[in-house]
């Protein structure tokens, strides 16, 4: 049976950052628990970030052998346009690649990864490129906005090559109205603002996907060296992981929210990129996405050989410049 693996990954984080203290100084409070977050520059969007992360992931890869490109974001610059084509042109890929575009949910990142795994069966080429880039948006007067960051990550998948081997997936879906949504024509995210309801939905859907996957594969949570859950805030993912029996050692390497804020569809996949810095051969890794509305997808991997990375994750985290809250509002064109 053909195996499919992640053999390379890349990350892009905007150079600009704002500290939590800037919100507190300007507004007297900050409703998000991050230490700092990433901020798009005036000439950046999810497509420019996607291109940079892809170039990082494709370093050392023969791009003529990429047969699949899938891309995901909740904030594409066009509501109707085949935006994978922009990546094909920017990266110099062959024009006859199979493409898929995923949006409308923070679960779209894992959807794009799963789509690429399936589409690999339909091409003679050995590689697929998965690109997830996101920058959630809301008004400066909305509490949700305080935690919204920006990031992109990209992965090269391969047929029958050693790397981070995909083992299986399990999903959970249901209906939960009023949590993190946008109506047609809107750019700003809305939410009914009932934290208890949001946490309950998150816990039920993510736990259902994670425990379902472990049961499907005949595993216990202790079998996983790293567990990375979707991080829309500072506490929910860690609290749920501990309720499911995970230790601090299993959780800590995949935590990225304190340094980037809420990166939407990137969240758990960005955590996966960080985990791969320290993972060793034989380590099992579980990641789980979450999309309000709601749904969750849990994916299991096992590391055979190190995944290629042209730039260390910690180096990307450390490359930054802090801005003031007034500068931040100018970057967002709010003033």
Structural domains of the chain, with CATH: 4-163+310-332 (3.40.47.10), 165-306 (3.40.47.10)
- Say how far residue 284 (Cα) sits from the centre of its chain: 19
Sheet strand arrangement including 127-134 = 98-102, 66-72, 127-134, 151-159, 4-12, 164-173, 295-303, 284-291, 226-229
Three-class DSSP category at 176 = coil
For the residues of 9-71, what is the DSSP string, one character each?
A: EEEE--SEEEEHHHHHHHHS--SS--SEEEE--TT--HHHHHHHHHHHHHTTS-GGGEEEEEE
Residues 291-333 pLDDT 10s:
998 899 999 999 999 999 999 999 999 999 999 999 999 998 8
Mean pLDDT throughout 8-20? 98
Tokens at 275, concatenated: 């985990």
For the residues of 133-155, what is the DSSP string, one character each?
A: EE-----TTSGGGGGB--EEEEE
Question: What is the rounded distance in angstroms from the CA atom of residue 194 to the CA atom of residue 286?
Answer: 29
DSSP-derived secondary structure letter, 253:
G
Q: Which of 264, 65, 277 is nearest to 158 (CA)?
A: 65
Lowest mean pLDDT among 117-126, 183-192, 299-308: 183-192
Structure-token match 């991997």, residue found:
301
pLDDT of residue 227 exceeding 90, the answer is yes
Q: What is the pLDDT of residue 179?
A: 85
Q: Which of 307, 300, 230 is nearest to 267 (CA)?
A: 230
pLDDT of residue 178 exceeding 80, the answer is no
pLDDT of residue 235 exceeding 90, the answer is yes
Q: What is the pLDDT of residue 193?
A: 82
Radius of gyration of the chain (CA): 19
Mean pLDDT throughout 197-220? 96
Q: What is the pLDDT of residue 199?
A: 93
Tokens at 133, concatenated: 């880039």
Q: What is the pLDDT of residue 335?
A: 83
Tokens at 168, concatenated: 């299986």
Q: Which of 98, 175, 106, 101 is nearest to 135 (CA)?
A: 106
Specify whether the CB–CB gap between 20 and 30 falls below 8 A: yes
- With bands split at pLDDT 50, 70 and 90, how would you rate the model's confidence at 14? very high
Q: Which of 332, 335, 333 is nearest to 39 (CA)?
A: 332
For the CA atoms of 93, 313, 41, 289, what is the dihedral angle to 10 degrees? 80
- With bands split at pLDDT 50, 70 and 90, how would you rate the model's confidence at 153? very high
Tokens at 236, concatenated: 């929910």
Q: What is the mean pLDDT of the chain?
A: 96
Mean pLDDT throughout 221-240? 97
Tokens at 92, concatenated: 């110099």
Range list of H helices, 245-332: 248-251, 257-260, 267-275, 313-318, 325-331
């Amino acid at each position: 049976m053909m195996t499919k693996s992640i053999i390379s990954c890349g990350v892009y984080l905007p150079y600009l950052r704002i500290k939590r203290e800037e919100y507190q100084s300007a507004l007297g409070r900050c409703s998000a628990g991050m230490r700092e977050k990433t901020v798009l520059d005036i000439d950046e969007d999810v497509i420019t970030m996607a291109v940079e992360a892809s170039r990082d992931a494709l370093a050392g890869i023969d791009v003529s052998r990429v047969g699949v490109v899938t891309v995901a974001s909740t904030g594409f610059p066009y509501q109707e346009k085949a935006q994978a084509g922009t990546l094909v042109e920017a990266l110099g890929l062959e024009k006859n690649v199979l493409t898929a575009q995923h949006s409308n949910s923070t679960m779209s990142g894992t959807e794009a990864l799963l789509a690429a795994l399936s589409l690999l069966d339909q091409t003679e080429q050995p590689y697929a490129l998965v690109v997830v880039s996101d920058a959630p948006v809301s008004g400066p007067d909305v509490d949700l906005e305080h935690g919204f960051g920006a990031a992109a990550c990209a992965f090269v998948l391969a047929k029958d090559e050693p790397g981070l081997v995909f083992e299986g997936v399990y999903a959970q879906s249901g209906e939960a109205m009023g949590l993190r949504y946008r109506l047609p024509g809107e750019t700003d995210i809305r939410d009914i603002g009932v934290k208890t309801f949001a946490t309950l939905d998150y816990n039920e859907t993510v736990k259902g996907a994670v425990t379902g996957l472990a049961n499907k594969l005949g595993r216990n949570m202790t079998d996983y060296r790293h567990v990375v859950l979707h991080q829309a805030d500072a506490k929910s993912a860690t609290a749920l992981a501990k309720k499911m029996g995970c230790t601090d050692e299993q959780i800590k390497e995949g935590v990225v929210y304190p340094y980037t804020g809420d990166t939407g569809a990137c969240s758990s996949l960005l955590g996966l990129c960080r985990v791969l810095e320290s993972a060793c051969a034989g380590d099992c890794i579980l990641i789980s996405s979450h999309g309000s509305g709601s749904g969750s997808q849990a994916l299991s991997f096992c590391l055979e050989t190190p995944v290629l990375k042209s730039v260390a994750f910690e180096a990307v985290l450390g490359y930054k410049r802090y801005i003031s809250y007034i500068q931040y509002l100018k970057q967002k064109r709010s003033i």
